[in-house]
Chains A and B, each alone.
Chain A
């Protein structure tokens, strides 16, 4: 109704068309060159750098996590290695002690056996000596007794005892 009753508002005026074109196109050219192109480029560059920074941070985070995991693994391995070394050393030590003990025991046994054998031999020799000495002494004694004429029984006995005392059984 308004439009029909007043057609002037739907009739573009040439003057205004001219000025609108001039102002808008000038604004478009100037702002496009001086403002909107630089702004949109700057925004794009910034957006790119932000997304790159975020990606980089994410990557770094992952690398850190990986590194931490690696470190933990390395630590675990080192610990296991150390335990193994200690256990090995312990085993070896035990083994060495055992060997030493065995050796000592064998040595001791051998020494003991040798000693016992020596003692036995000496004992046999000593007994032989005693036997020999005893025989000699008995012979000597008999000779002496026979060679001396003993008058009385008492004197005879004391003489034998004295002679026996002389025999030092050492």
Chain B
């Protein structure tokens, strides 16, 4: 009797889970097609627009009736020379331009949000450009740099404090922020570094793995705070740097075995060895490249989806013309945005974990000493 009841609840659970899975899949399909159609229409629209208005290339469309989801989302996920709080507060940031062997330093407020030019500089699509088209290097402290600095300061304060707590309360149970972060720290050490790199060599890489994990995690979470609209880990320059550092760490710590497996794979017919060498050599670069793209694409995609969903409100409301439409757009968009925020929260942790785990794995593959040859 009991067994039967148990079976029933199990079946019910199974059906529920299946149903949930299907509904999630359904939502994704709807999202995919919905967003796809929005982007397609926008792109078509933009192309059409370009075709009709080729003469004034520099003048961007700012008509009230025309609203581009793409521009809105791209503006959000892109970098910027000012900090924008809710579009109301705008804090200018220092611009540092290296041109013709000298530095030009000025605040971004000189542009007055793109309305004016300064010296030979102007803001073009929110980016500094020269009016005469001459080349320069932009070392400006942009929104993303500010985000990184904030996170770096936060991490410095947090982890030096935690280290002090460990010193002060040696061999005692953790407390306060120490106990909040200890699970994450020991997770990275015991479940990421140790199993992937190995008992003997993991210690050397623990500082890097912890730094990269918390750096990515905090930047991901920073990107989820609606007021600030940071998108640092969704910027390819940042993920590029992180993956390059992993790449360097992997290859400078590569053992003889590692290089032998790449250049002259043991246990493979001689005919195949050159082919394997080529593939393995490409593999050296594809692994960190995948790291770079994965983090960048995941975070950017999340931001784009959220931005696009929010744009539904404006599209349905015809940019303020139809209040009912806007309400309907909000009715559709808000639950989806909430859902996406939950997913993004998961992704923030997941991507930080994946980057760290894969870095540890690649390092582990490089430092491993093979006893047997296969």
Contact = CB atoms under 8 A, between A and B. Distances in A.
Given A16-B144, A16-B237, A36 B139 contact: no
Nearest to A26: B152
Contact of A39 (B139, B155, B159, B240): B159
Interface string B142-164: 10110011001001100110110
Given A15-B138, A32-B208, A39 B237 contact: no
A82 B166 CA distance: 60
Given A1-B39, A40-B203, A49-B171, A23 B152 contact: yes
Interface residues of A, number: 40
A16 B79 contact: yes
A43 interface: yes
B166 A42 contact: yes
Interface in B202-238: 203, 206-208, 210-212, 215, 235-238
Interface residues of B, number: 57
A42 B170 CA distance: 7
B167 A42 contact: yes
A30 interface: yes
Given A21-B241, A35-B160, A39-B185, A16 B145 contact: yes
Interface in A64-112: none
A16 B163 contact: no
Interface stretch (A3-11, A115-123, A132-140, A145-153): A3-11
Given A28-B207, A36-B206, A42-B170, A15 B139 contact: yes
A13 B203 CA distance: 34
B70 interface: yes
Interface in B336-366: none
B70 to A, nearest CB: 7
B110 interface: no
B236 A12 contact: yes
Contacts of B203: 40
B38 to A, nearest CB: 11
A119 to B, nearest CB: 103
Nearest to B96: A15
A45 B170 contact: yes
B248 to A, nearest CB: 11
A9 B145 contact: no
Interface in A36-74: 36-40, 42-43, 45-46, 49
Contact of A31 (B139, B156, B242): B156
Given A9-B236, A28-B212, 10 more contacts: A9-B77, A14-B137, A19-B145, A20-B144, A28-B207, A35-B159, A36-B185, A36-B210, A38-B166, A45-B171
Please give me the 8 A-B residue pairs with the lowest Cβ-Cβ distance, nearest first: A32-B207, A35-B159, A42-B166, A12-B237, A16-B237, A36-B207, A35-B163, A20-B241
5 contacts: A5-B70, A9-B236, A16-B142, A16-B145, A19-B141
